[in-house]
Structure 1
Amino acid sequence: MEGEDFVGFQVEVDNLLRQLASFTKKKLEVISIVGMPGVGKTTLARKLFNDAYVVSYFYVRAWITCSRVHHKRELLLSILRSVAEITDEVCRMNDCMLAHELYRALKGRRYLIVIDNIWSTEAWDDFKSCFPDDNNGSRIMLTTRLKDVALHAHPDGNPLCLRFLTEEESFDLFRRKVLVTGNDSDNLSSIGQDITRKCRGLPLAIVVIAGLLKNEFEVDSWRQVEMDWWLQVSGSINSLVLGDENHYMDTLSLSYNHLPQHLRPCFLSFGAFRENSDIPVNKLIWSWIAEGFIVQDGTKKSLERVAENYLMDLVRRSLVVVGKKGCNGEIKTCSIHNLLRSLCLRIAKEENFAVDIYKYDKHSRLCRNKRLIIPYECSCYSSEISQSFFMDVSIHQDSSKLIRALDISSIELFVFPCELLQLVQLRYLELRFKAGYLPESISQLRELQTLIMHSKKKMVVPKNMWKMKNLRHLRIKSGGVLVNFPNLEEEPNVLENLQTISLITVSKPCQNILAKTRNLKKLGLCGPLEITQSGDMKCLDLGLLKHLETLKLLYTIPLCKAGRLGDSIKFPESLKSLLMSITFLDWKEDWIFKMIPNLEVLKLKVHAFSGKDWETRPEAFPRLKFLKLEELDIMTWTATRNHFPVLRHLQVYRCSNLMEIPEDFGNIIMLEVIELGGCSDAAANSARHIQKEQEICGNDCLKIVIKPGLTSSQTNQQNARSG
């Protein structure tokens, strides 16, 4: 992506040019380009630096490139050489004098300084005092892999996080680098498109591969290039790119070598996941904890919170890409570029690093490093699955103590394989059952921290489950859950580490469990809820769960009429996210939201409330940021901006009777998006009217998204994405 072969990023170029040469913003500004190695940060900065208008606009331009271990003196002299004459006297100056000399040389002149590949906040601190602000439009441009460095240099700025190339842009770059006009070949072009798709939009990878093919072309003519050579390149593209030490590995390895020791195993663990996969953040974090990668940092933060910080550090270093986000901004999925994944595998092999997570995948049959002990004659599977599974598994008795994480959820089990009980160090286990009945002996897995179970039918959780002191996360995905509860009255501090239970049946003995799991942060309850003789709906007392942040209430048996809540219901003030479905509450029962002053996310789905009119109570949602209404029979909604003062995102799906969005919502300062799907034309028009009124008032930030044809299946897909 150099010189005449610069491809893509035209919108980014235009925006950056406006920032660089702004007639209205004269104050000195720092503009940053952030991204992973090879994504094109330097090339983009170079294009801007050499732009004809930029050259004419700035009186002085200087470009310096940092190394991981920067040398202040050398960099100061490098800038000075671009702006002033370097004399012997200047060369004899110490660092402080050089900094002062640079300040004097720049004073009163409109300048552009590019600091390429800056690695640390300390490096910026060494330079920042050298740059005078004469209110004349001077600019400093940084390129960095670390978003923290960019924000440190300009805390109020909005650094450009450079995207990957699109498929069209990728092939355009590849074609320019390797194809020659007049020697076109449809077959080779087709293979070339396949190659660029596998490069996943990373410019440096495309250039390296194109260079490899071009070198072959320079030896032979086009007609002599063998198609199977191109196919071979396409089939082994990752290893070829990473195999070129001079062009690629040194660059990528710098990022790894610069990682703190505590982040290295976390980064290498990405090699255990399939290529191009969206990795659920919860599973990733729980597996890190299972592997022992996460240690307490001396604060009161949980291991999960520390792990989240580790992940965000890898994101800021441009080594991990954020995928889907939840409605409150938390990261739901992440991914890693295939080439970085190959780097993980290569370094893991060089350093003899074993990724202990073992995952059987029926599509790729991926078996990671550690070997699983399950006898071939195990009767837990069908014969076909058993044969294909054990063909991939080396059976070694000694290996059982090494496995800490196991995911065989792609296999549907008839019964729990008791052979798994031999995995005495197992900390993470994910299974899928045809009909789920866990044995009481599950409690023999004393080290187990995370248990995830899938089934289309009801599952039974044995009473011994609640004796597993190290259990942190219990997630059950099924048509319903039956739970056997022991008498816990005499057992103090049961499951004090447990943070997640979802989904379990609401029942009277369940109250005993919740009373002993006061550190719970996520809870999912499914119905039916108990109805008193007076017709009040009775829910569990959740007031003791002082750390609860996320709650799901899914009632499974619909009522004939709108219900009432008993006065005894309690919610903890710590609650931030609430989902309700098929609870059939009367809108007059919305007084419960006043009990949850810290609520940020509210999802009312499928007759959570019943009735034609919702008159929102004052001060009920002081901190609500995200509101979702789905499949409700509401017709009129009376509310003002004061009811939702910090609302950012409103979703209304398949509320076909709703006539309009409250008009005053346009005056909510924080509101960014109103999204409607499967609603009436009147509701859609009211949203458009709100947007138009805001544009007249100078507010161009409010976005309206209308999806008039949203069907039930599409809604389910939306739900799967948003949780």
Structure 2
Amino acid sequence: MADILVPIFLDNLIKFGTYEANLLRGVRDQVDTLESDLRFIKLFLKKSAGTRNDPLVEELVNQIGDAALEIEDVIDAYAARVTKERRRNLLGKLFHCFGHARVLHGVANKTTTIMNKVENIYNNKEKYGIGEADQPRVDDEEAEQSSIERRRRNVDEADVVGFEKDTTTLIDQLTNQSNLQRDVISIHGMGGLGKSTLARKIYKDTRVVNHFPCRAWVVVSQKWQAKTLLRNVLKSFKQISDENATAEGLKTELKDQLKGKRYLIVMDDIWSTQVWDEVRVAFPDESNGSRILITTREREVAWHASPAPPYELQFLDENESWELLRKEVFRGRECPPDLIQLGKKIAKSCGGLPLSIVLLGGTLAAKNKSYQVWSRFIGNVNSYLAEGVSILKLSYNHLPPELKACFLYLGLFPEDSEINVRHLIELWIAEGFIQSDRSTSIYDVAEDYLEKLIDRSMIQVATKRPDGGVKTCRIHDLLRDLCISESKRDKLFDIYSIDNKVSLNRKSRRLSIQSVESPDFDLPPCARSLFFFDVFSDVPMSKSFWKQIYKSTKFIRVLYLSGIVIRIIPSQIEALIFLRCLIIKDCEVDNVPSCIWNFRYLETLHLDFYVIGSLPKGIWSVMKNLRYLYLAYWMDLDLSNIPRRSLMGEPFWNLQVLSWLRVNNSTALVIAKFPNLRKLGLCFGEEFMEEGELEKVMASIRRLESLQSIKIQKYYTLEPMVVGPRLNSLPSTLTKISWTSVEIFDWDTFKVLARQPHLRVLKIDAAEGRPHELRVVAGEFPQLQVLKLRNLGIKTLKMEKDAMPNLEGLFIDSCPFLEYLAEDELLCRSTLQLVEVIGWKVQDTLRTMLTDFKIKHPDTPCKINIMEHEVP
């Protein structure tokens, strides 16, 4: 718990000290001392990570975590007093400063108590083994891990179904005689997918046995040692005479043993890139087709061992899941007809994870095969899979500290939900999980964390953006159960749902309320984050529940409202003075009070709902710390009312994401106040613009040196504005442009965009217009990877050889006139991976052409999809 809580609290304290620097002048020393103590505690927690098996050390760590929560409560209470006294006169502030100092002195006493305990630990290093924390230890924890790994391998030995295609594909790669160099092939996927089972099937296959005269299988696991690994490989070929041989000696002996032989070495369950670095020299490359097959949960390990893409193992589909469950339960006997449909539901609930199905099959095999017994498993499968959670916990334990909190956080979301990645990143940042220095954008660090969790098979990619980035993600049910159990123990969060109406931990810092008609409990006063998913049914949030939020949980930093009826947001919400992140999406809202702009510390604001009337003015009051601002384009919010003091003051350096900004006569001034924008969404409407104002807008955009993405929407044609030709003044830093308009697209605009040097994604959605020939000439769109055209009057798409040289994906949606795509210049290029044609009408000539192309070029890497909808 403390490993997660202390760094977060330290970050919150530093932020508070930054925001309130002026009011803390009288107590600055106490705050600095507190920061210093917390940094030392953080160092102790990192150093003691290898000695948590000692109950005394573990108890101390738990005490540190509890004390951190208490300290946070005291600091937040102090901060609330500071904020309230902001309005006091100077004499009042001086008088109450002594009270502030007294409060912080009490906080310092708490940390001193903890530091004394830490000092005692360091004075007894030999007793507690802290000095050996970084060395491998044979202890109870390692013994337990070894036991789990043995049970996992026993499960994996089952004859899992669904691997026929995978087996054939990988055997073809292993035995491919066109590549005689020693090659490394990796199988990658989350724990429990059956990587070891697949590797074992391949290892025992007669084609492999006959092809490789020399074979060895070795299990690596997390606790590996080079000598043991090399010795185990060597034992497959000969008896080892010198049991005391060094690692270097074993490498030489193994290399000599493999010389002149075509060999296959399977290294199962690799967790670290150091494994391959350590042993690779022992495997000679004599261009005879030798192979090394590895299995890993870590994509980084797979790529490190070989430049070839790893083989990504997929989840079983519903039919394969039922086949495997039936096989595990009945062992060749027939399944009673009355259990088939029920069994399919049970199998489906395992989420396609072979490990879950095999474990559950073992449980069902030992029970009475009756409808009554099997019915108990519906909706309750995960409670029977504790062993599966233990196996997956190996992956969680292997995560570095900075990733653990980010991973556990996903358990806050409802089961089987697709999580919006951009919202997730904003939440991580607001919670203090993401740390970055000034040289690196905090968004880049957060996206790196996300990629690492994906690479470690902890998160699944649900959908992708056109540029290949992750749009939504999800986690398997077993991993979600792991998130919930670990978070409950560590007081990170608690869940209250229709399936989990349990008593809440009063110390939980986060609460997720899901799919309940009327929460009948008191909110934990210590909560710092509140999530509401599809609650209250069709009944608006009551005044009494709102009162709980701004009375009982007044220190919250994150408020997330999704799929609920709000109606009226009470003005008392301004009592949430520490709010950093406010997300309201897919909600019914009738009225928004002006006090919604009174959150001094707000960094993320996402408002995506229909509201009766206009949003209140005054948003400029929250702009100082705002980093992300999203307002649905239908919201009638005008940022043009800039206070004079804002125009005269410093720019708002923090804002990096802004959507949607309504374009009018003041837009140029607005954009000028946000010099560090990375993403910008502009909405052109019916507003009258004075002559020359549009040029000013484009000029202000051109000065945005960090701008990477711009979205432009034109929803009215009453006052047509020729925006296209002015786009030649867009900054060259842009990598993504999205254009949406109710007007007929001006193809001169396309030629202007073609000159963007770093543009990678281009999306155009406009009115059809007359059938038009689109020709892309050499040199245009030099970096473009994705082109998406929708509702356009394109008849033919022709392309010169050196145009769009890096194009990977072409998406054509609802372009009914399209008859022809350049074949040799476009479809045959090696970079193109996917062509997708969608619409209610697809020309027969185009359909025939694409079908014939696939017949004539069966080996082309390009995948072609044609999807025709019913006529609307």
TM (normalized to structure 1)?
A: 0.87
1:330 Cα deviation from its structure 2 partner: 0.5
Q: 2:37 matched to which residue of 1? A: none
1:239 Cα deviation from its structure 2 partner: 2.1
Q: 1:205 matched to which residue of 2? A: 356
Match of residue 344, structure 1, among 478, 483, 494: 483
8 Å contact kept, 2:550–2:572: no
What do residues 214-262 of structure 1 show as CA deviations (whole Å, max 9, x unaligned)? 2235xxxx4xx5x4432223332112202x4xxx343222111111011
**Residues 392 and 84 of structure 1, relative CA distance in 2, 3 Å threshold:** farther
**Matched residues in 2 for 1:407 and 1:50: separation?**
52
Match of residue 177, structure 1, among 328, 336, 346: 328
**Matched residues in 2 for 1:49 and 1:636: separation?**
52
Q: 1:14 matched to which residue of 2? A: 168
**Matched residues in 2 for 1:313 and 1:332: separation?**
16
Q: SS at the partner of 2:615?
A: strand
**Matched residues in 1 for 2:184 and 2:690: separation?**
68
Match of residue 305, structure 1, among 444, 464, 484: 444
Q: 2:418 matched to which residue of 1? A: 278
Q: 1:486 matched to which residue of 2? A: 642
8 Å contact kept, 1:362–1:411: no
Match of residue 463, structure 1, among 615, 618, 630: 618
Q: 1:405 matched to which residue of 2? A: 558
Q: SS at the partner of 2:711?
A: strand
1:70 Cα deviation from its structure 2 partner: 0.8
**Larger displacement relative to structure 2 (408-417 or 641-650):** 408-417
Q: 1:442 matched to which residue of 2? A: 596
Match of residue 577, structure 1, among 713, 733, 736: 736
What do residues 583-604 of structure 1 show as CA deviations (whole Å, max 9, x unaligned)? 5443234342155221111111
Number of equivalences: 687
8 Å contact kept, 2:651–2:675: no
**Matched residues in 2 for 1:368 and 1:620: separation?**
62
Is 2:267 the counterpart of 1:153? no
Q: SS at the partner of 2:167?
A: helix
- In the alignment, residue 663 of structure 2 is paired with which amino acid? V
8 Å contact kept, 2:833–2:863: yes
8 Å contact kept, 1:271–1:344: yes
- In the alignment, residue 683 of structure 2 is paired with which amino acid? C
1:634 Cα deviation from its structure 2 partner: 3.3
**Matched residues in 1 for 2:327 and 2:658: separation?**
55
Is 2:678 the counterpart of 1:521? yes
Q: 2:632 matched to which residue of 1? A: 477
**Residues 635 and 19 of structure 1, relative CA distance in 2, 3 Å threshold:** closer
Match of residue 837, structure 2, among 676, 679, 703: 676
**Residues 94 and 361 of structure 1, relative CA distance in 2, 3 Å threshold:** closer
Q: 1:230 matched to which residue of 2? A: 374
Unaligned runs of 5+ in 1: 375-380, 713-723
**Matched residues in 2 for 1:478 and 1:589: separation?**
23
Q: 2:269 matched to which residue of 1? A: 117
8 Å contact kept, 1:577–1:599: yes
- In the alignment, residue 174 of structure 1 is paired with which amino acid? L
What do residues 554-577 of structure 1 show as CA deviations (whole Å, max 9, x unaligned)? 111136999575658621111111
CA RMSD of superposed structures (Å): 3.2
Is 2:785 the counterpart of 1:628? no
What do residues 578-631 of structure 1 show as CA deviations (whole Å, max 9, x unaligned)? 111225443234342155221111111122887734444653311111111111
Is 2:406 the counterpart of 1:266? yes
Q: 1:641 matched to which residue of 2? A: 801
**Matched residues in 1 for 2:522 and 2:768: separation?**
44
What do residues 613-672 of structure 1 show as CA deviations (whole Å, max 9, x unaligned)? 444465331111111111122335453232322111112222222332234323543122
Q: SS at the partner of 2:302?
A: helix
8 Å contact kept, 1:165–1:201: yes
1:168 Cα deviation from its structure 2 partner: 1.0
Match of residue 101, structure 1, among 240, 243, 253: 253
**Matched residues in 1 for 2:296 and 2:424: separation?**
26
Q: 2:474 matched to which residue of 1? A: 335
8 Å contact kept, 1:587–1:613: no
8 Å contact kept, 1:426–1:445: yes
**Aligned pairs for 1:652-691 within 5 A:** 652-663=812-823, 664-678=825-839, 679-688=842-851, 691=854
Match of residue 232, structure 2, among 54, 78, 87: 78
Q: SS at the partner of 1:454?
A: strand
Is 2:208 the counterpart of 1:64? no
Q: 1:189 matched to which residue of 2? A: 340
**Residues 494 and 370 of structure 1, relative CA distance in 2, 3 Å threshold:** farther
- In the alignment, residue 338 of structure 1 is paired with which amino acid? D
Q: SS at the partner of 2:793?
A: coil
Is 2:384 the counterpart of 1:240? yes
**Residues 281 and 68 of structure 1, relative CA distance in 2, 3 Å threshold:** same
Q: 2:747 matched to which residue of 1? A: 587
Is 2:557 the counterpart of 1:417? no
- In the alignment, residue 416 of structure 1 is paired with which amino acid? I
**Matched residues in 2 for 1:13 and 1:703: separation?**
23
Give the helix-richer structure, 1 or 2: 2
**Residues 690 and 593 of structure 1, relative CA distance in 2, 3 Å threshold:** farther
8 Å contact kept, 1:520–1:545: yes
1:469 Cα deviation from its structure 2 partner: 1.5
Q: 2:498 matched to which residue of 1? A: none
**Residues 562 and 684 of structure 1, relative CA distance in 2, 3 Å threshold:** farther
- In the alignment, residue 514 of structure 1 is paired with which amino acid? I
Q: SS at the partner of 2:697?
A: coil
Unaligned runs of 5+ in 2: 1-154, 495-508, 529-534
Q: 1:509 matched to which residue of 2? A: 666
**Matched residues in 2 for 1:702 and 1:498: separation?**
40
**Residues 414 and 469 of structure 1, relative CA distance in 2, 3 Å threshold:** same
1:48 Cα deviation from its structure 2 partner: 0.9
Q: SS at the partner of 2:251?
A: helix
Percent identical: 32
- In the alignment, residue 187 of structure 1 is paired with which amino acid? D
- In the alignment, residue 486 of structure 1 is paired with which amino acid? I
What do residues 424-480 of structure 1 show as CA deviations (whole Å, max 9, x unaligned)? 222221225656764442232112221111233564352333543221111122534
**Residues 340 and 290 of structure 1, relative CA distance in 2, 3 Å threshold:** same
